[in-house]
Amino acid sequence: MAEDTGQERTEEATPRRKQQAREKGQVPSSRELNTMVMMLAAAGAVALLGSGIAQGIQELAVWNLQVSREQIFDVGTMFLLLEESILHAVLSLAPFFLVMILAAVVGPLMIGGVNFSMQAMVFKFDKLDPIKGLGRVFSIKGLVELIKALVKFLVIGTVAIVFLYYQFENYLSLGNEPVDLAMPHTMQLLIGAFITIASSLILIALVDVPFQIWDYKKQLKMTFQEVKDENKDTEGNPEVRSRVKRVQHEIAQRRMMSEVPEADVIITNPEHYSIALKYDPKTMAAPLLVAKGVDIIAMQIRRIANENNVPILEAPPLARSLYHTTEINAAIPAGLYLAVAQVLAYIFKLRKTNSTQYANQKMKDLDIPDDLQFDS
C-alpha cells in the first residue's frame, strides 16, 4: 500500500494501482470463507471416499494387531512394519488430502481470483519490528480481527457443544460396536461434524467476505495528489502534451498552407470558409482538397491565393459542403463531382482568357445533393 501523505484518501484506486497491488500479492481474502470451503470439502470427501478410507484404516489396524511377540522385540522387523504402516496410511488418506489441498487453493480464488506473486513470497524483515507489530495489534484492523476471532469462537464453540450434546451417546457407543460397523459409523459422525462446523462458518463468512472486500478497496484508495502524479507518469505532463499538440497542429497547418499556391481554385463562403482544390486529370481520379479553414485560417488561405494568383471563387453552399464532408488531402465525395466539375470548367475556361489575373468570381445554382448541404 502507498505511504501516508497526510492527505485524505478519497479517490477510488486506478487500474494501475490495482495491478501494482496484485503484483505485490495484495488481494482480498477471507480466512472464514477459506475455512468454510475446507470444511465442506472435508464433508464431501468423507461422504464420497469415506468407505475406502475406512476400509484402508481397518485393514491397517487388523494387520498391526496381528504382529507377533517376537516381531515386536525385533528392532529391524519393527522398522519395516512401521514403514509399511505409514505407507499404507498415506495411500489410504491420500485422496482425502488431495481434496483438502484443492479446497485450500479454491477458497482464496473465490474472491481474490487467480494471482501469483513472487514479491509476496519474499521475506520482509520489517515484520520482525516489535514496534510495528504492536501497532498492527492495537490498530483498528487488529481490533476488528480480535472481535471476529471472539465471535467465531463463540459461534463455533456453541454449535460444537450442541452437536456433541446430541451425538454424545453415538460417540460412546463406538467402543462397543464391531469394527465393521464402527468405521462407517465414525465416518457418518465426521461428516456431520464437518457440515455442522461449515454451517456455522457460513454465517460468519456472509459477514466477513463483504467486509474484507470493502476493507481491501479502502486500503487501495488514493489521494487526489497520488492520482494526479500517476496520470503524469502514465500519460505525461498535461502542459507538455498540450504543447506537443500545438506544435503538431502548427506543423500541419504550415504544410497545408504550402499547398495553397499549387491549388487550381479557392472556393469561399465568401469570408468564413475557404477551400483549396487541386485537380490533374492525368494523375488524379478526382479533385483533391489540399487546404481548408474557417475565419482566420480562411483569410490566410485567401491571402496566399491572391499572392500566388490562384483563382478565388465565391460559392457558399459548395464551400460549406466541402468543408464538412472532405478531409485535407482527400478526394471530394462523389456527390459533389458535378458541382466541382462546373467550377473547374469555369476556372479552366477563365484561365484560357486571362492567365495572369483573376478577380473574385461568383457562381450560383450549383448542383449539390440535399444530403451534402449544410447551413453553416
The DSSP secondary structure of 54-115, one letter per residue, reads HHHHHHHHHHHHT--HHHHT-HHHHHHHHHHHHHHHHHHHHHHHHHHHHHHHHHHHHHH-S-
Q: Which residue type is seen at 211? A: F
CA 246, 249, 251, 253 torsion-angle sign:
negative
What pLDDT, on a 0 to 100 scale, did the predictor assign at position 3?
Answer: 46
* DSSP notation for 209-272: HHHHHHHHHHHH-B-HHHHHHHHHHHH--HHHHHHHHHHHHHHHHHHHHTTGGG-SEEEESSSS
Give residues with Cβ within 8 angstroms of 82, minimum separation 6. Answer: none
- Are 186 and 273 contained in the same domain? no
203 within domain boundaries: yes
- Are 216 and 268 contained in the same domain? no
333 by DSSP, 3-state: which? coil
- Are 200 and 270 contained in the same domain? no
What pLDDT, on a 0 to 100 scale, did the predictor assign at position 149?
Answer: 82
231 within domain boundaries: no
Mean pLDDT, the chain, rounded, equals 81
**Residue 371 neighbours by CB distance under 10 Å:** 9
Number of domains observed in the structure of the chain: 2
The CATH number covering residue 294 comes to: 3.40.1690.10
Model confidence pLDDT, tens digit, residues 130-176:
666 556 556 677 777 788 788 888 888 888 888 888 888 887 887 77
**312-314 and 361-362 beta bridge pairing:** parallel
Instruction: Return the half-sphere exposure (C-beta side, CA atoms, 13 A cut-off) of residue 315.
Output: 29
- Are 295 and 173 contained in the same domain? no
**Residues of the chain predicted below pLDDT 70:** 1-7, 113-139, 179, 233-238, 240, 354-361, 376
- Are 264 and 204 contained in the same domain? no
pTM, entire model = 0.50
* DSSP notation for 38-61: HHHHHHHHHHHHHHHHHHHHHHHH
How many angstroms separate the CA atoms of 106 and 34, rounded? Answer: 8
Model confidence pLDDT, tens digit, residues 323-361:
999 998 899 998 899 999 988 888 888 777 765 555 566
- Are 96 and 202 contained in the same domain? yes
Rounded to 5°, the CA angle 309-274-368 comes to 110
- Are 279 and 190 contained in the same domain? no
| Beta carbons of 139 and 66 less than 8 angstroms apart | no
Domain that holds residue 190: 17-221
253 within domain boundaries: no
Q: Identify the H or E element spanning 331.
A: strand 330-331
What pLDDT, on a 0 to 100 scale, did the predictor assign at position 275?
Answer: 92
334 within domain boundaries: yes
Give residues with Cβ within 8 angstroms of 209, minimum separation 6. Answer: 30, 32, 33, 111
Which cell numbers hold the place of 306? 491572391
What pLDDT, on a 0 to 100 scale, did the predictor assign at position 261?
Answer: 92
| Beta carbons of 271 and 297 less than 8 angstroms apart | no
350 within domain boundaries: yes
- Are 34 and 174 contained in the same domain? yes
How many angstroms separate the CA atoms of 45 and 48, rounded? Answer: 5
- Are 207 and 140 contained in the same domain? yes
What pLDDT, on a 0 to 100 scale, did the predictor assign at position 1?
Answer: 45
What pLDDT, on a 0 to 100 scale, did the predictor assign at position 248?
Answer: 82
What pLDDT, on a 0 to 100 scale, did the predictor assign at position 132?
Answer: 60
Rounded to 5°, the CA angle 117-123-125 comes to 140
12 within domain boundaries: no
Q: Which of 175, 191, 221 is the last residue of a domain?
A: 221
